[in-house]
């Protein structure tokens, strides 16, 4: 008899709880819902790849910078000797800033080496592949183990790289016999035909008369 009474009480309590839950859910459902806000469209910044492509396009459109001298920068070759760009007037100079951790840089170096094979033997043409934004040991180790034949250099403290106001590797510069910047190329893509493009510009600069000529 006692067991039956307990079961009845438990059943009654559960019924009351269920009734209260239903009541609460109904009240919640009847609450005034806040109006939906219109969909907000947020403009996102371009990706790094898009920024590099846009920057490269802009640079290519303004590749010839007549009359603007290349700064008289200094860096070190891998033997520790100082290279002074200001003393290279009268020569056509190609400088490429690169880093061992930069995949586009490493890919670009193949085309730089192909250009060096074509023009590097000339006395009036100078090539430098300058390690920047990198650990010196990493850049030197890469240079020592590569099969490339162009001259390597190191930019201590990124002084030369920073002086140019560039923040992207690879960055390539062509300098004419007057010491003026004639082409700046930022970034690299395998399908852009860098060797052909830079090779054509090199040939044009080589054909120009020397200062006072």
Position 57 scores a pLDDT of 45
Among 63-67, 83-87, 180-184, where is mean pLDDT lowest?
Answer: 63-67
What is the 8-class DSSP label of residue 165?
T
pTM higher than 0.85, yes or no?
Answer: no
Main-chain phi, psi angles of 208, to 5 degrees = -70, 145
- Cα of 123 vs its chain's centroid, Å: 32
pLDDT category of residue 68 using cuts at 50, 70 and 90: confident
According to CATH, what is the number of the domain 48-207? 3.40.30.10
Pair 175, 89: CB distance under 8 Å: no
């Amino acid at each position: 008899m006692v067991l039956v009474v307990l079961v009845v009480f438990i059943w009654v309590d559960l019924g009351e709880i269920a009734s209260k839950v239903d009541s609460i859910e109904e009240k919640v459902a009847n609450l005034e819902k806040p109006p939906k806000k219109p969909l907000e469209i947020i403009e996102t910044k371009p990706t790094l790849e898009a920024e590099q492509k846009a920057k490269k396009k802009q640079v290519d459109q303004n590749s010839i910078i007549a009359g603007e001298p290349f700064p008289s920068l200094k860096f070190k070759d891998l033997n520790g000797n100082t290279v002074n760009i200001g003393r290279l007037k009268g020569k056509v100079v190609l400088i490429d800033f690169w880093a061992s951790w930069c995949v586009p840089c490493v890919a670009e170096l193949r085309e730089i080496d192909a250009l060096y094979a074509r023009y590097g033997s000339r006395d009036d043409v100078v090539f430098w592949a300058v390690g920047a934004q990198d650990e010196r040991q990493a850049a030197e180790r890469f240079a020592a183990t590569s099969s490339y034949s162009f001259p390597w250099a190191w930019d201590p403290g990124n002084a030369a790289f920073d002086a140019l106001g560039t923040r992207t590797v690879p960055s390539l510069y062509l300098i004419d016999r007057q010491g003026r910047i004639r082409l700046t190329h930022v970034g690299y893509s395998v399908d852009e035909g860098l060797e052909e493009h830079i090779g054509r510009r090199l040939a044009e600069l080589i054909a120009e008369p020397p200062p006072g000529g």
